[in-house]
Structure 1
């Protein structure tokens, strides 16, 4: 990736950008954001970068896939400001979030195993009103109404009172939406999954989504390892 840089070599923004698919302006923006150390300037005001800046850029780009752009920026800024402990804390936070996401996935899988795939639509004797269902899921009733507008849940309306009544299948759908939202899925991706569950009369259509979720978590974990290796190399080079 890029040229074999020698210590003390003077580099332009375009030299750092080359090989990363970046523009020279992006490199300058990264410096202004604190992702790269501050560059020296020539008497004419041109930036002068070094192999250390090239290493910083590689480190940042390696951190982004595992930690996200915002966290990676904060990590690099902390390192460049000489606050290694803050950088390590931020790394720990990302790992803690990944662990929480894994726990959420396990909770989703557990919830799916507990759901009754044969539940019939509509409101039976065991129907629930919106308030108790929202309380059971730890949501606000407004959230359930939003999901209803998006077609994710379809409660029965009592013709006498107009109250929403959630039957077994409706409760199943609400629980599925809740768990998938916790897993980071946007509503527009959840809607076709719920439709497939309804059409198939079971939960098998979600198996592909769960495999994809597992894959994304594993990819983040691997990316964090790669980012950690680059960060360690950058810290060593900084001294």
Structure 2
């Protein structure tokens, strides 16, 4: 998109905007944000752009899907200020985050694959207590209490005794947390994964969402490649 703008002539704001399906105000906003180099001015004060501005705009728009608007803005601002090392650092951070997201997804998949079916609390008991659940998992009751403080499990309290009561969903969360801990994950890493399970409404809906999660990561990874190619073109033009 926008390759028809690659000529030797000067470009008006409307030319640049139309080439990328934007408004002229958006182009001005991008310039003010440092995404584009400063525009030239006519004797009457009107902005003029060049093919270099078109390349900058194309690079920015290609970077956004993979890195997000804020990071893409920071990358382009760094490049335009001749701070390419900072731009590369920001790109590296995005790639590191994508890799971490992939590792998180694999952790969830392994945990679900290795997790045996959750045993619901016996009917009529209203849940299970910390001792029996700890014994089932092969851990100490203190460990379950530590997980509770970290937000991994959320048992209710019996109004008469004050004892912790683990409902079926709590047992599920405890078993998933146990599986992830065995995989070497820290409590602060496990907490958001448990959050995904709760938000999905259980393990089965989460399993159905894993395919979509995979697809989104793949789309983001490919978008990073596209953004890198466009940015490389801009860097070459600036050299």
TM superposition score category, shorter chain reference? 0.7 to 0.9
Whole-Å separation in 2 of the counterparts to 1:88 and 1:132: 42
| Cα distance per residue 1:7-44 (max 9 Å; x no partner) | 43111222111143321111100000000011111222
Report if aligned partners of 1:119, 1:169 keep a CA contact under 8 Å in 2. Answer: no
Number of aligned residue pairs? 216
Whole-Å separation in 2 of the counterparts to 1:134 and 1:14: 63
Alignment RMSD, CA only? 3.0
Cα–Cα, structure 1 residues 103 and 120, in superposed 2: closer, same or farther, change >3 Å?
A: same
Q: Which residue of 1 aligns with 2:147?
A: 136
Q: Which residue of 2 aligns with 1:148?
A: none
Whole-Å separation in 1 of the counterparts to 2:172 and 2:102: 22
Q: TM-score, normalised by structure 2?
A: 0.78
Q: Which residue of 1 aligns with 2:20?
A: 20
Cα–Cα, structure 1 residues 38 and 171, in superposed 2: closer, same or farther, change >3 Å?
A: farther
Post-superposition shift, 1:133?
3.7
Secondary structure of 1:37's aligned partner: coil
Post-superposition shift, 1:156?
4.1
* Correspondent of 1:181 among 192, 200, 210: 192
| Cα distance per residue 1:160-213 (max 9 Å; x no partner) | 23344335641423658x85835996x9xx53x22xx3xxxxx33322211111
Whole-Å separation in 1 of the counterparts to 2:14 and 2:141: 58
Q: Which residue of 2 aligns with 1:123?
A: 128
- Give every structure 1 segment of 4 or more consecutive aligned residues whose post-TM-superposition deviation is greater than 6 Å: 128-131
Structure 1 unaligned segments of length 5 or more: list them: 145-152, 198-202
Report if aligned partners of 1:130, 1:164 keep a CA contact under 8 Å in 2. Answer: no
Whole-Å separation in 2 of the counterparts to 1:98 and 1:19: 31
Cα–Cα, structure 1 residues 208 and 50, in superposed 2: closer, same or farther, change >3 Å?
A: same
Whole-Å separation in 2 of the counterparts to 1:6 and 1:110: 49
Report if aligned partners of 1:75, 1:91 keep a CA contact under 8 Å in 2. Answer: yes
Q: TM-score, normalised by structure 1?
A: 0.78
Structure 2 unaligned segments of length 5 or more: list them: 122-126, 135-139, 178-188
Post-superposition shift, 1:116?
3.4
Q: Which residue of 2 aligns with 1:228?
A: 228
Cα–Cα, structure 1 residues 111 and 10, in superposed 2: closer, same or farther, change >3 Å?
A: same
